[in-house]
A and B are shown apart, each in its own frame.
Chain A
Amino acid sequence: MRYEFLSVGSGDAGKMQELTEINSAVRVRRVRAADISHVIALDTRVTKIAKAEYWNDIFRRYGKQRNSERFFLVAEGRAEGAGPGFLGFIIGEVRAWEFGSSPCGWVFALSVEPKARLHGIGSALLEAISAEFRKAGVGKMRTMVARDGRLPLLFFRSEGMIAGPYIQLEKDLD
């Protein structure tokens, strides 16, 4: 796949670059305010937990601020290909020195419309955010998946991700 960057609009909006995938039925770009209702609806359908406040807050923090290190991207279909409209989203950011780690890209949310799965949309989103991470100067990407999260585990593994050098620990707080 090939991506190109397009400047859109003018003023502040013009500074935000829009990521566009070409030669394919899927286009990946930065999130817009109008996308948030689709994000909320998709997440509610997939997780069965409605959390509009959370997603509005995420949009404020990841869709509008520090765009050189925070990436909230959405995939949309072209009419002749995967179908028009909103198909999924991915969110990540560059984090530095947490857990003693040098700067790396963290993906903390990824979701694709269930009906549009197995058509390369997750791969397009991951590839797009990888390109953004590389542009931000980091050479490593991380995520965290529930051990019993079969589909996301299969997906990230198929994308070449392997177990990292950290072990996640937790404790019940009595």
Chain B
Amino acid sequence: MRLQVSTRLAIFAVLELAAREGSQLSVAEIGEKYGVSSHHLAKVMHVLGRAGLVRSVRGAGGGYQFAGNARRMTLLDVAQLFEDLNSVEQGAADATREEQTLSDVLGEIDDIARATLGSITIATMRKLVDRRAAAGSRNAEAGSSRRKGAPLRPVR
């Protein structure tokens, strides 16, 4: 499954803000981390703000704050603001049986994709990101030990 650039940016922005609940980040700060223009990201943040997932903070040091419950907001809540995640439409009445059957199969895929996105909360995503970071640190340490002469494990 591929997500549009705007969807990915929205997810990343929400994750950044949820990691700093109570404080705010500017569009420029988020954009810098992901290498995207503030112009593009501002449009994404506007959509998130309108949906109530983030709130804008005005004034000096302003930016955006996370505005939801990280244990309840899911990737689906974010993604469906930017993607059409509804099941493919039932084949039209005049569609061939082949077209209708293909719609059924594609509908199965859509249902699974929606269920998967709807099962991952922002808090769970943060946990997964942190776990990956910890695994990265362990690997880096192992690499460092190996460089110091520790034997490599055989690759299976």
Partner of A153, one of B119, B127, B131: B119
Contact code string A144-165 (vs B, CB < 8 Å = 1, else 0): 0001101001101110100100
Contact code string B114-127 (vs A, CB < 8 Å = 1, else 0): 01101111011001
A154 touches B111 (CB 8 A): no
Known contacts: A147-B111, A158-B71. The answer to whether A153 contacts B118 by CB under 8 A is yes
Besides the known contacts A147-B115, A150-B119, A154-B72, 18 further A-B residue pairs in the complex with CB atoms under 8 A apart = A118-B71, A147-B111, A147-B112, A148-B115, A153-B118, A153-B119, A154-B74, A154-B119, A154-B121, A154-B124, A156-B119, A157-B121, A157-B124, A158-B71, A158-B123, A158-B124, A160-B131, A163-B116
CB neighbours (8 Å) of A160 from chain B are 127, 131
A156 to B116 alpha-carbon distance, docked (Å):
12
A158 touches B121 (CB 8 A): yes
| Chain B residues engaging chain A, CB cutoff 8 angstroms | 71-72, 74, 111-112, 115-116, 118-121, 123-124, 127, 131
Bin the interface of chain A by size. Answer: 10 to 19
B84 to chain A, nearest CB (A): 19
Interface residues of A in 10-46 (CB under 8 A from B): none
Best-buried of A118, A147, A157, A160 by chain B (most CB within 10 Å): A157
